[in-house]
Structure 1
Amino acid sequence: MKFNGTIHKYNDHQVAFEFSPVGLPNALVMIGGMTDGLTTVPYLANLPKVMEPLGYSVVQIQMKSSYIGWGTTSVKEDVSQIKQLIDYLKSEDGGSKKDVVIMGHSTGSQDVMLSLLTISDDIKAGILQASCSDRECFTLYAPKEVRDRLNAQAKKLLDEGKGDEMLPREFMAYTNDTPVTAYRWCSIMLEGGDDDFFSTDLPDEALKNTFGKINKPFLVAYSGEDEFIPKEIDKSAVLKRWESFSNPKFWSKNSGIVKGASHGVKQLESQVFLYEKISHFFEEFHL
């Protein structure tokens, strides 16, 4: 598949791709998940057509954590690079974009959450799509004794101040062959880690400090048939709980389950449903 658009170099080492049509007044910054890079999110192909009437160009960010880089970085480092891109897009070189909305797919939703909590002054609104828990996903692929053993090994290194140390190859069986540091493993796989925003067993206090502190409009578009969410999890109940801790002024009434959608929303009918949610969200808050 061929994509038309413009490559932007927003810092010394990373780029972003603005899909055609380029040059619209505002920007929707798309943040992929683990192993994602430019154009790899399935529903990106037609998203620019959805956003054009709303006055938003779609810009996908490439970060240090893109592709297999996620294992040696952090969500905080991602947010730093997202901030760099936003500043660039608002500059004359980047097209003097007026407003910037950020949208995260999968682990990109963690980036959206932390961005809304730390750099909200730079952001008009946020979208969290396929915001599942990596910690709970791990339960689908490894028995408890294996999880406990690997987690303890990584936590020991972290506690010894060796968070940047690479974990043994055994760990890569659970990371799609991605090299991973002790810090990033613990961030993703341990309760309360820096990446642990969406686990369904988090205490109320944790949600008060995340969903409860968002002060910009946001949409949650939860994939209905997400293969990385354990089947026993009640997705509707999860959304209701998140909503209960959120300020009703900012929680979108269009938040909900994307019917029939896999984690990556590969189904065309589900993509149309997602596009409708996004369009209605922008209309709801006059973005």
Structure 2
Amino acid sequence: MNLSLSSSSSPPSNPAVSTSSSSSSSSSSSSSATTSWISVIIRGRFDSSASMKTSANSASGSPAGDSPGPVVKKNNFHGLLFKYGPKPIQVAFKTGDYKQQVIFIGGLSDGFMATEYLEPLAIALDKEEWSLVQILLSSSYNGYGTSSLQQDAKELDQLVSYLINKEDSEGVVLLGHSTGCQDIVHYIGTNAACSRAVRGAIFQAPVSGREYRATLPETAAMIDLASTMISEGRGSYLMPREASPSSPITANRYYSICSYMGDDDMFSSDLSDEQLRMKLGHMANTPCQVIFSMRDEYVPEYVDKKALVDRVCKAMGGAEKIEIEHANHSLSNRVDEAVEVMVDFVRREGPKGWDDPWH
């Protein structure tokens, strides 16, 4: 489906430039089109029709087409809307028709066009011959309270599989915003077959939902209630409205986000170095960039942000650290800096060709 995606506003997610790097980066270029080893595992590959390819080329603003680029005007994307899975919510929107993709994964309550930097990022990626893919998950918008990191990882793998088998993808870079960062960590940790397609990961605003929620007066009592419900076998039941006034939330999901060492608890400042390594250490095998907003409104004032981002990058095995001064959670006040560092990382850590699983 070739169409324009537009919106009058992009609400910020509700979560749970000085540059330094402790890991080496190398220049790379996309590999020539070859048969992916994953195509042997995942059957059902087919080529898109010529008409679909033609329309997508035009939408991307590539040299082959005369149509506008990926962003026609403010809050108006031009690209391809497609289904990547069987559920009604499982749709994604792609700008550009290239074999290298950056997949944007939003935070709690996010959906399409979640952050202001997506528009200039789509334009910048198009110039580099990369597509930007925005994904809707079962947890998107108000669905996060009845979903889980496990479900997000499963659906993200379905999207990557689709890009490999139906779009001839040569590899992807994952871009997580807020809780989208937790999704990346969990997905890479699953070692799913299609996760081998991930050539790099960008963590934008990797913050602790637990530490933020701990500043709210009702949280302690709600954690106790969630724990009781889970022990009684009612973990999939909904919590009272005061636990999450904006969206329904199950006891399992609430406990995952708000409890110490819950599944979602990955970036808290009170976790020990060993606990951070246990949560994040497997990311050492993937080139990573951590973009931390030094005025993130969802990080409590008592948290030493510089120390936290240092410890997170170290736990990941030496991720590239980007500190953006005065930036807010969604980087809406530092859009240019955000796009610059993201595109620079994509240039250096993009697809280098498929790995041979037998070597």
TM-score w.r.t. length of structure 2: 0.72
Which structure has more relative contact order (CA 8 Å, sep 6+)? It is: 2
Task: Find the partner of 1:148 among 204, 220, 239.
Answer: 220
Report the residue type matching 1:49 in the other structure. I
Task: Find the partner of 2:93 among 17, 27, 48.
Answer: 17
Report the residue type matching 2:328 in the other structure. S
Bigger CA radius of gyration = 2
Preserved CA contact (<8 Å) 2:171 2:350:
no
1:286 is displaced (CA, Å) by 5.3
Is it true that 1:41 corresponds to 2:115 in the alignment? yes
CA-to-partner distance for each residue in 1:21-49, whole Å, 9 max, x for gaps? Answer: x2112010000111111112221111111
Matches within 5 A, 1:82-161: 82-92=156-166, 95-119=167-191, 120-142=195-217, 146-161=218-233
Preserved CA contact (<8 Å) 1:132 1:199:
yes
1:204 is displaced (CA, Å) by 2.5
CA-to-partner distance for each residue in 1:34-74, whole Å, 9 max, x for gaps? Answer: 11111122211111112123332000000100000000000
The size of the alignment, in residue pairs, is: 271
Report the residue type matching 1:226 in the other structure. D
Task: Find the partner of 1:221 among 286, 291, 313.
Answer: 291
Preserved CA contact (<8 Å) 2:173 2:350:
no
Is it true that 1:207 corresponds to 2:279 in the alignment? no
In structure 2, the gaps of 5 or more residues are 1-74, 352-359
SS at match of 1:3: strand
Is it true that 1:259 corresponds to 2:331 in the alignment? no
Preserved CA contact (<8 Å) 1:78 1:111:
yes
In structure 2, what is the Cα distance between the partners aligned to 1:278 and 1:41? Answer: 14
Which position in structure 1 is the counterpart of 2:126? 52
SS at match of 1:4: strand
Preserved CA contact (<8 Å) 2:102 2:133:
yes
Let me know the Cα RMSD of the aligned residues.
1.5
Identity of aligned residues (%): 33
Preserved CA contact (<8 Å) 1:116 1:126:
no
SS at match of 2:154: helix
In structure 1, what is the Cα distance between the partners aligned to 2:128 and 2:280? Answer: 26
SS at match of 2:77: coil
Is it true that 1:278 corresponds to 2:339 in the alignment? no
SS at match of 1:257: strand
1:284 is displaced (CA, Å) by 3.6
Which position in structure 1 is the counterpart of 2:51? none
